[in-house]
Structure 1
């Protein structure tokens, strides 16, 4: 049974936070020399104490409800800065060199979530299960928080107290986890069953239709607290496109690509089908955020008309790898920008992304589409079915990033 100071994920995160050595070894001896990942049988951590853990140990990180082994977790961390094609190629090469075991390829969203958690940028992960006996993840979250600050993990069999000071007996921790949560007056009055007050709107309609007198208007305007609180509308998320002429996706063809899953080059569009609009709207159902109504996305090529609060609504930035695109952005440095916003690079399939895109690391998603073949008016290119596959991959990454930033069915995050 894993405890906070023996849990492989927490040990790995703590070692990363303290810049301590993590050594693959081919022996159970903690003092064994470093070996290659293809021949290693153990992973040796040097902080807080030198300890070796079998490299095929299952971790609490689950992919499709299947625990991912420590070798795959460590390999994903080593390849955190490479693009998806290079990560997949490296995993294939390592699997060919392994005599026993196999490196598990993590999906883009899973790998992004894992690396974000290991770096200490997030204290929670939907793919990481709590420690055994820690129903609400209090012990693991506390140990992870200490790890991200470079502090030692709690001792075996202990967890932090509710005030965050000192140690707490594990038996008391079980008792605290079983406590009944007390609500405030608001939750007590509302209860556990939502009440539908839509009928009140019909009763209030006759009164709302009557125009108030001038004095009443001025009285309400001078006292905002007296104005009726209307239901706040969820703002539309924003996607920024690259204004570069070399971009495969522009305002003229992005709508058909993201909505219909079909790529058509800009120069192949007819004058009637092309668009010179400076802003487009696309509707997409994001099932994990709001399964009942589609979300409307706003697509623009630049932030020239942005208000400061608009940046919290930006959910993706399409780029060609040219840094001049970000000159007027809130974060003009690409490395800083992609810490806040998901980057998307769309290029030709089987071609490496530009060096700049690769240098920006895992926060920029690289997607390839098949090269365009002009088959004539009545011919059909059979390879274009891959376009929809690329589009779904992009939307899945955008949805996962939106959920991690705090998008909900009735509100948007205040900041990103």
Structure 2
């Protein structure tokens, strides 16, 4: 249990639970003042005793089997209440401030970030991304401490006074409290018990049944129509359009639907667009006559690829951009020139203003269009004042449809790679 005394994750979790101050500092001195996270070399926990850990200390939280440093963990906790796009933008800004002197903040995927925050705030006692402490097989430090207290031993605690050797003892009254705790179960313990259960033997047993493919006659009987069964088997996936998460983008999740589906631009911060600001994914329908003239295609709109599977990239048909290259950091192709060899780029700016130099340098693979500035007037009618938006929207859809046809989109199939 000696490892638990200075474990960064447990120190952070206990400080959060007690409401104690957690300060980024430029030294391990107890009187050191708080500094911005980009200048910090240590993370100081003020209670129950002064403990300062190097901010680049590796923790037991592993992302893709790689230990994550304390700075990234603390930053994710600070940004726990913001959406994924804003979190990624803040992390990119901090990495720019750190430069080459202080390491880099790791960006967590949606599921990893949710699991970490749930564990830090005490809503869950287990995490599939946190490795257990040495000698603590079930990963429950409080349980081990209570067990020692029940035997009359002095159980180590995170908040105890530490000597030069780094070891300490728990207050006997605190040990009694820990011993009286009732461990609450979470979804993992309810479904699988304390320890994960190995179900690999089920896979071997089911291989016999999974290897048998249904015959053509069974497919016919299932649907009653062989042609319908074939169409169901070859169901075309929905194409994906990626939006820019930048706050300077004219088109966001709040107003993209009214623009691409209704052919009207409405500012993203207007009252009429506020109902969609919390959406993380949208669907719009569009009839692509040169691909499928009989039924509209459903497009999926998202701001980032955080929840993408590898095969999703073959379904991306357009990327809206403001010209800021940090948008593509987590993309399959992070280099803009390489990205727009595979996917159509779309830049939407104000009519009469020149596109950014970065957009112009990416060449003809990025479609650059301009829309009229939005003017609010008590006498203006939105439908009559925004009539030129329809022309811009049709130009964008024509480019998207042409690009989709060249990549292999057909009435009943989608490309396997782009």
Question: Per the shorter chain, which TM-score range?
Answer: 0.3 to 0.5
TM-score, normalisation: structure 2:
0.46
Larger radius of gyration: 2
TM-score, normalisation: structure 1:
0.46
